[in-house]
Amino acid sequence: MKILMAAPECVPLAKTGGLGDVVGALAPALSRLGNEVAVVLPAYQNILEKFPLEQTGIELEVELGGRRVAGTVLKTAGDGGAPVYLIRRDEYFRRPELYGTPRGDYPDNAERFAFFSKAVLQLAERTGPWEAIHCHDWQSALIPVLQKIGGNTAAARGAKIILTIHNLAHQGTFPFSDWELLDLDARYFTPKYLEFYGQVNVLKGGILFADALTTVSRKYAREILTPEYGCGLEGVLGGREKDLHGILNGVDYREWNPASDPLIKKQYSASDLRGKAECKSDIQQLYGLPLKASAPLLGIVSRLAAQKGLDIFLEIIEDLLRMDLQIVILGSGEEKYQKLVAKLPAGHVEKIGVKIGFDNALAHKIEAGADMFLMPSRFEPCGLNQIYSLKYGTAPVVRATGGLDDTIEDYDPLAGTGNGFKFVDYTGPAFLGAIKRALSVYVNKKAWKQVIANGMKSDFSWEKSAKEYLELYRRVAGAPVK
């Protein structure tokens, strides 16, 4: 099939979270399955500065709020035969961050991503025909809206549009003053369409107009139909339930595998874990913690946002610091959480180390060096770090929500089954209870080996998920399903 992937992130070019990992691995996985795949991204500053780019000669001009706004298209090789087109307009995308700073979003995000979406459709017309356009999150959710009700995009009409919701909490809601940027008929600014409590809701539009919807785990696909997880869109999603599919994210084991990871101190595998001990002392050293092999080391790598369960972590931190363990944290995100987390080591430097920032190499080192990985998320559409942890022999302690619940099986000491530790209620005591359970297994070397072995043998490689996407594209496009 001919598949165009329109996304706001794609590793190694641009990443703030798991969406970047997913697009960066799914595109080459689909091309390995014999499809013609290309990715389209905004030409962010980091990409312009660090990657080899070629001119395509394609110039675009889109209508944006009655104005004509121009852009150009660059291209870079991409991974595994899936080239990446880059929509360039420096006024919008040549900035230090993708969406905003720790203080908040860029104020012109509606304009930036309306431009991007319109440019993608125009690019699709020039480079197509494409059978499927696969969009990701609110930043590209206007594409199905514009294709269906935006007029003058005739050539891209042949393409079926699939929208993946990686995170329902980010909907792209903007004040009514941004409505004119979409150049849509006023009758679509009503509760039946894109209006949402007086605002423009871009994701809502995408949910209504995409040909098929997916989200990144089966459990989250069910959860978002409920008021607890639906973020106000549960009704709209309910109206499209039969077109909504849960497809679990995979892992790119070329990047996340302790046996070949060049970013960690010493490679290791399930059959020989000696390197893991070296990775542990490496991370203790990097964080200035005492080099104690026996102290359980708890790791966190996270966007610092309410979603990630930081409030219940902060609630139990005093209890944790009274125990014989060590904690390392790597995170960046909202200023409020950055400040709270940065303060934690004060008075406890022998127990806890914190680094605020985005550091891919350090994320790998923590996965390898820690004994346990904490993900107490309030909600988690899929979550990738717990799946990486499994491969690195680092037992995940997770809340049983979304993809965390689908990928982690609670350890059962009698049966010897399970690959981690789960808790259900979103409370400090429930989280603490799961950590204590993990610690009690940790001291039993044989049992701990079992937990780790169970995790390390699990296989979440992309091929299976890529095939599920392909089957969906075929079904939606009316092509024969193989």
Burial (Cβ within 10 Å: 0-12, 13-18, ≥19) of residue 305: buried
Q: For the CB of residue 303, give the shortest distance to ligand GLC in the complex, in Å.
A: 8
Is residue 80 part of the contact set for ligand ADP (CB under 6 A)?
Answer: no
Q: For the CB of residue 437, give the shortest distance to ligand ADP in the complex, in Å.
A: 22
Footprint on residues 365-404 left by ligand GLC (CB under 6 A)? 380-384, 403
Question: Quick one: which of 18, 144, 345, 353 contacts ligand GLC (CB under 6 A)?
Answer: 18
Is residue 140 part of the contact set for ligand GLC (CB under 6 A)?
Answer: no
CA distance 322 to 316: 10
First to last CA, the chain: 12
Is residue 405 part of the contact set for ligand GLC (CB under 6 A)?
Answer: no
Footprint on residues 381-400 left by ligand ADP (CB under 6 A)? 382-385
Owner of token pair 């679990």: 248
Q: For the CB of residue 213, give the shortest distance to ligand GLC in the complex, in Å.
A: 14
What are the backbone angles phi and psi of residue 59, rounded to the nearest 5°?
-115, 140
CA distance 388 to 403: 13
Sheet-wide strand order for 421-423: 352-356, 326-333, 297-304, 372-375, 395-399, 421-423
CA distance 386 to 318: 24
Q: For the CB of residue 5, give the shortest distance to ligand GLC in the complex, in Å.
A: 13
Q: For the CB of residue 328, give the shortest distance to ligand ADP in the complex, in Å.
A: 12
Task: Annotate each residue in 284-323 with x if it binds ligand ADP (CB under 6 A) or - if it does not, as one string.
Answer: -----------------xxx--------------------
Is residue 258 part of the contact set for ligand ADP (CB under 6 A)?
Answer: no
Q: How many residues bind ligand ADP (CB under 6 A)?
A: 18
**360 is in the binding site of which of ligand GLC, ligand ADP, none (Cβ under 5 to 8 A by kind)?**
ligand ADP
Extract the tokens encoding 342.
């940065």
Compute the residue count for the chain.
Answer: 482
Burial (Cβ within 10 Å: 0-12, 13-18, ≥19) of residue 446: exposed
Is residue 125 part of the contact set for ligand GLC (CB under 6 A)?
Answer: no
Which lies closer to ligand GLC via its Cβ, residue 60 or residue 216? 216
Is residue 12 part of the contact set for ligand ADP (CB under 6 A)?
Answer: no
Which lies closer to ligand GLC via its Cβ, residue 170 or residue 351? 170
CA distance 179 to 67: 14
What secondary structure does DSSP assign to 303-321, as a single string? EESGGGTHHHHHHHHHHHH
Task: Annotate each residue in 329-358 with x if it binds ligand ADP (CB under 6 A) or - if it does not, as one string.
Answer: -xxx-------------------------x
SS3 171: coil
What secondary structure does DSSP assign to 16-58, as a single string? SSHHHHHHHHHHHHHHHTT-EEEEEEE--HHHHHHS--EEEEE
Is residue 167 part of the contact set for ligand GLC (CB under 6 A)?
Answer: yes
Q: State the residues that interact with ligand GLC by CB under 6 A.
A: 17-19, 22, 166-167, 216, 249, 380-384, 403
Q: State the residues that interact with ligand ADP by CB under 6 A.
A: 17-19, 21, 301-303, 330-332, 358-360, 363, 382-385
